[in-house]
Structure 1
Amino acid sequence: MNLPELLYALALQHVPNLGDSTARKLIRHCGSAEAVFREKKQNLLKLNGIGKTRIANLQHTAHLKAAEEELKFIEKNGIGVAYFRDQDYPEKLKHCFDGPLLLFYRGNINLQKKKLISIVGTRNITGHGAAFCEELIAGLAPLDPVIVSGFAYGVDITAQRAAVKHGLQTVGCLAHGLNQIYPKAHRKYMAGIEENGGFFTDFWSTDKFDRNNFLKRNRIIAGLSEATIVIESAEKGGSLVTADLANSYNREVFAVPGRPGDIYSKGCNDLIKSQNAHVLTSAADLVYILNWELPSTERAVQKQLFVSLEPEEEIIAEYLQNMGKAELDLIALNCKYPTFKAASVLLNMELKGLIRPLPGKLFELV
């Protein structure tokens, strides 16, 4: 994207009440962001949904002046910019009707040919929720997905720290410009995330921090990924908004079920009950629903006589050796693991070529 086009795209972003969808419509009609500002009023009025007020707003020189100042900030601070027409603009976000015109980023983000998963939930994560989140990401690690979240307290930062721990890319979507960070307590995690991933936002450095920004930010979290996972949520919360957005984009939504009386399981249970989310009890559920292929190099590995097993794998291997084959629930019960833990271990064993899944959620040793 050349600088003149970036300048005029920024100016379009600055026009009040215009919106990303309308801005993209204007650019497609006129050919470029710069051409929008040079187009005659009467021609723009012919477009449905534009209107006289919006066209009048385009004429104010304040938008270009503001764009020039923001461009200086971008250049001075080495901020990356992805334009909705550019090749480096996230592919799935291109198909969202309200995807941002410009996406600002920092770090080492590479989404090419990557599986993207968004993980969201309450800021008041429980011990059970944190354990499940970490187990889930450990189970998915061999598939090398990019973990997307909002860098907030609770589920968000738990997921992103787990991603860093397992060497996965992780992207934090921010509700403010890249000249600040919220919450400040998470500043200590920034370097680790930027080293293998980074941050996205469509807010300017001059935008005031406002809690309503979180709702706008959530569309990017939902739009980037092929699936959104809600780990824990109360009856109401931002993560449920993200799940609704993901459904509106025709993406898969998963929710972790919990006990009926648990406050932070109410939102997840409601999503499942209303059939707005798949039940998620393990990494294997996600792999199955999304029809992900296991890495071919790993699948080809055959069981060796003296293969190295983790303690959990040894217990399950011994049980399957005695039983021949068994269902997931029985494996979990008899090996004394939570179902999500057993499923995660089974997925790792499958990746090592030690077991194979059978119809009916059965497993057997290879």
Structure 2
Amino acid sequence: MSFYHQIALTKIKGVGPKTARNLLAYCGSVQEILETKASILAKIPGVNSKTATEIAAKNYQEATEKEIAFVEKHQIQVLWITNPDYPTKLRNCEDAPLVLYYKGNADLNNERVVSIVGTRDATNYGRKICDTLIEQLKPLHTTIVSGLAYGIDIAAHKSALLNQIPTVAVLGHGLDRIYPASHRETASNMIYQGGLLTEFASDTKLERQNFPMRNRIIAGMADVTIVIEAAIKGGALITAEIANSYNRDVCAFPGGVDQTYSAGCNYLIKTNRAHLIRDAQDLCYLMNWDLENTKTQTQLSLIPTDLNQDQLHIYHFIKEKKQVTIDKISRFCNWSQSKLAIVLLEMEMNGHITSLPGKVYTL
């Protein structure tokens, strides 16, 4: 199937992803859709006479040829929905775009794809969480996805670049521009360590409604969407709601009850729309990702230097067992319950161990 037919279908007024899929189901191919008479197209459920006439009029030809010239000149990949490089997780969403334009080198079908979203008015608290989380995710070989917007989005992209993690920006416009313009340098770097992805052609106007459309791609191509900071209204919450509708996991970092830009995160957690997480280890536990096994043997052999004798005693036991219940630790140490509780609490507060559900501990 040529790029011409693929792109042409997206240039027809009134034909969105759902209508296009409906047409494909009845006609069998894009070429067949474009060559079918309006009177026959109008009989397809969900296709009105106006749309059928628009398809048959072939007013898309000039715009299609212009777009093909643009993608060839700038070496942009045109990913049709059946293309093996098209994001598989996104393909499974009923409103996934039929065509994506992509410039970059990141694998859009990486085993672990994490979307990170949040407020455009990020605080120091939000940026610190973002930087720490992404640094912790490095051993997992994830791809980080966001929207190149101000605030948390650009913080996520920059942190991923700094940690040499592939990062993909999903744009609310064509690849003929970068918005906001101040993020152009970051976007340029991402082409070599990630990529730029959009469903919008090069002549698309920069319109407000494009960005909620962009958000469904951010949610749809990821295993999990993480909200770091968000007000009670805004694009981050829209993305979280879309991810929930796709039956994807959503996580949120909690914030102070009096903080405007944490109100959205707290709301998502309160209403069971997002899992509360504090770090990458919480995320890995939720997603059943093995963070420990991704670390090098050198990293695993390092023993914290601030452990006292009692803590070291427990540390070696947990390291040997990987995960161990408090009852087994108690039998191993043969201490009083009060002493054991104090030692475990100190180790947990210092970040040496983590408490899992069922009173299970791991390093």
TM (normalized to structure 2)? 0.86
For residue 240 of structure 2, what is the amino acid of its counterpart? A
Q: Retained in 1: the 8 A contact 2:347–2:353?
A: no
SS in 2 for 1:59: helix
What corresponds to 2:312 in structure 1?
321
Equivalent runs, 1:228-247 vs 2, <5 Å: 228-247=225-244
Instruction: Give 2:345's aligned residue.
Output: 330
- CA shift, 1:113, in A, is 4.1
- Rounded Cα–Cα distance in structure 1 between residues aligned with 2:344 and 2:199: 44
Distance in 1, matches of 2:184 and 2:43, equals: 48
CA offset digits 1:324-351 (Å, max 9, x no partner)? 568999347743xxxxxx3xx769xxxx
Whether the 8 Å contact between 1:177 and 1:202 is mirrored in structure 2 is yes
Q: Distance in 1 between matches of 2:100 and 2:344?
A: 44
Alpha-carbon separation, structure 1, partners of 2:180 and 2:274: 29
Q: Which residue of 2 aligns with 1:259?
A: 256
Highest CA radius of gyration, 1 or 2?
Answer: 2
The residue that corresponds to 1:286 in the other structure is: 283
Q: Note closer, same or farther for the CA distance 1:331–1:95 as it changes in structure 2 (3 Å cut).
A: farther
Q: Which residue does the alignment assign to 1:363?
A: 362
Query: Structure 1's 293 and 323: CA in aligned 2 closer, same or farther, altered over 3 A?
Result: closer
Task: Note closer, same or farther for the CA distance 1:40–1:303 as it changes in structure 2 (3 Å cut).
Answer: closer
Q: Map 1:43-192; keep pairs closer than 5 Å.
A: 43-192=40-189
Asked if 1:13 is matched to 2:14, the reply is no
Q: Deviations over 1:272-308 (max 9, x none)?
A: 1111010011111111111113475648x4998xx45
Contact 2:112 2:141 in 1 (8 A): yes
Q: Is the 8 A contact 1:150 1:172 kept in 2?
A: yes
Distance 2:310 2:177 in 1: 53
Which amino acid letter does the alignment assign opposite residue 220 of structure 1?
Answer: I
Report SS of the residue matched to 1:314: coil
**8 Å CA contact retained: 2:219, 2:243:** yes
Q: 1:316 to 1:203 in 2, by over 3 A?
A: farther
Gaps of 5+ in 1: 336-341, 348-355
User: Partners in 2 of 1:245 and 1:317 — Cα distance?
Assistant: 48
Q: Which region of structure 1 is more displaced relative to structure 2, 39-48 or 22-31? A: 39-48
After superposition, what is the alpha-carbon deviation per residue over 1:303-325, rounded to whole angstroms, capped at 9, x for unaligned? 98xx456xxx4336877316556
In the alignment, the residues of structure 1 paired with residue 358 and residue 189 of structure 2 have an alpha-carbon distance, to the nearest angstrom, of 41
Report the residue type matching 1:34 in the other structure.
Q
The DSSP-based 3-state class of the residue aligned with 2:57 is: coil
Q: Distance in 2 between matches of 1:70 and 1:246?
A: 31
Instruction: Give identity over the alignment, percent.
Output: 38
Judging changes above 3 Å, is the alpha-carbon distance between structure 1 residues 160 and 54 closer, same or farther for their aligned structure 2 residues? same
Q: In the aligned structure 1, how far is the partner of 2:213 from the partner of 2:344? A: 40
Per-residue deviation, residues 147-176 of structure 1 (Å, max 9, x unmatched) = 000011110111111111111110000111
Task: Decide whether aligned partners of structure 1 residues 295 and 308 sit closer, same or farther in structure 2, where only a CA change above 3 A counts.
Answer: closer
Residue 360 (structure 1) shift: 2.5
Question: Is the alpha carbon distance of 1:147 and 1:297 closer, same or farther for their aligned partners in structure 2, counting shifts above 3 Å?
Answer: closer
Deviation at 1:62, TM superposition (A): 1.7
